[in-house]
Amino acid sequence: MKVLKFGGTSVGSVESILSVKNIVEAVKGPVVVVVSALGGITDKLIEISNVAAKGDVTYEVAFESIKERHFSVINGVVTDPEKKKIVIEGASMLFDELSNIYKGLYLINDLSSKTLDTIVSYGERLSSLIIANVIEGAQLYDSRKFIKTEKQFGKHVVDFELTTPLIKETFATLPKVALVPGFISSSKENGEVTNLGRGGSDYTASIIASVLGASELEIWTDVDGFMTADPRIIANTYVIDKLGFIEAMELCNFGAKVIYPPTIYPVYHKNIPIRVKNTFNPSAAGTYISKDIKSENGKSIKGISSIDDTCLITVQGLGMVGVIGVNYRIFKTMAKNGISVFMVSQASSENTTSFAVKNADADVSVQVLREEFAYEIAQGEINDIKAERELATVAIVGENMKRTPGIAGKLFGTLGRSGISVIACAQGASETNISFVIARNNLRKALNSIHDSFFLSEYQMLNIFLVGTGTVGGSLLDQIKMQQPKLMKQNGVKLNVVGIADVDHVIFNREGVNLDTYQEDLKHSEIKSTPEVLQEEILKMNIFNAVFVDCTASPKIAALYETFLSNNISVVAANKIAASSSYENYIKLKETARKRDVKYLFETNVGAGLPIINTMNNLINSGDVILKLEAVLSGTLNYIFNTISADIPLSKAIKMAQEARYAEPDPRIDLSGTDVIRKLVILSREAGYKVEQADVVKNLFIPDKYFEGSLDDFWISISEMDAYFEEKRKELEAENKRYRFVATMEKGKCEVGLREVDSRHPFYDLEGSNNIITIQTERYYDYPMIIKGYGAGAGVTAAGVFADIISIANIR
Task: Write the DSSP assignment of 76-117 as a string of letters.
Answer: HH--SHHHHHHHHHHHHHHHHHHHHHHHHHHHHT---HHHHH
Q: What angle do CA 406, 410, 414 make, to 5 degrees?
A: 175
* 724 vs 721: CA distance, rounded Å: 6
How many angstroms separate the CA atoms of 795 and 551, rounded?
13
Backbone angles phi, psi at 441, to 5 degrees: -70, -5
Q: Which residues pair with 219 in a beta bridge?
A: 5, 276
Cβ proximity of 312 and 437 under 8 Å: yes
Give me the half-sphere count of Cα atoms (radius 13 Å) on the Cβ side of residue 241: 6
In this structure, are strands 570-573 and 546-550 parallel, antiparallel, or unpaired? parallel
Quick one: how many helices (H) and strands (E) in the chain? 28, 30
**What single letter denotes the amino acid at residue 113?**
S
Q: Which run of H or of E encompasses 739? A: strand 737-746
The beta-strand segments (E) located in 317-459 are: 343-346, 352-357, 386-397, 424-427, 433-439
Burial (0-12, 13-18, 19+ Cβ within 10 Å), 789:
middle
Residue type at position 389 = R
DSSP secondary-structure letter at 491? I
Sign (positive or negative) of CA dihedral 466, 467, 470, 471: negative
Are residues 133 and 83 in contact, defined by beta-carbon separation less than 8 angstroms?
A: yes
Name residues whose C-beta falls within 8 Å of residue 138's C-beta, 6 or more positions apart in sequence: 24, 33, 131, 132, 175, 176, 177, 178, 179
Which long-range contacts link 724-730 to residues 24+ away (Cβ below 8 Å)?
A: 725/644, 725/649, 725/650, 726/644, 726/646, 726/649, 726/650, 729/644, 729/645, 729/646
**Element at 810 (helix H, strand E):** helix 794-811
CB of 683 within 8 A of CB of 746? no
- φ, ψ of residue 542 to 5 degrees: the values are 50, 50
SS3 60: helix
Q: What share of the chain is helix, strand, coil (3-state, %, to 5)?
A: 45, 20, 35
The amino acid at residue 800 is G
Residue 674 half-sphere exposure, CB side, CA atoms within 13 Å?
Answer: 14
b/e code 20-48 from CB counts within 10 Å (16+ = b): bbebbeeeeebbbbbbbbbbebbebbeeb
Catalytic site positions: 679
Identify which of 175, 178, 180, 145 has the alpha carbon closest to the alpha carbon of residue 163: 145
Q: Are 788 and 772 a contacting pair, CB within 8 Å?
A: yes
Cα–Cα dist 38/73, whole Å: 10
Q: Rounded distance, CA 809 to CA 464, Å?
A: 11
- 113 class by beta-carbon count within 10 Å (0-12 exposed, 13-18 middle, 19+ buried): exposed
Angstrom distance (rounded) from CA 638 to CA 768: 7
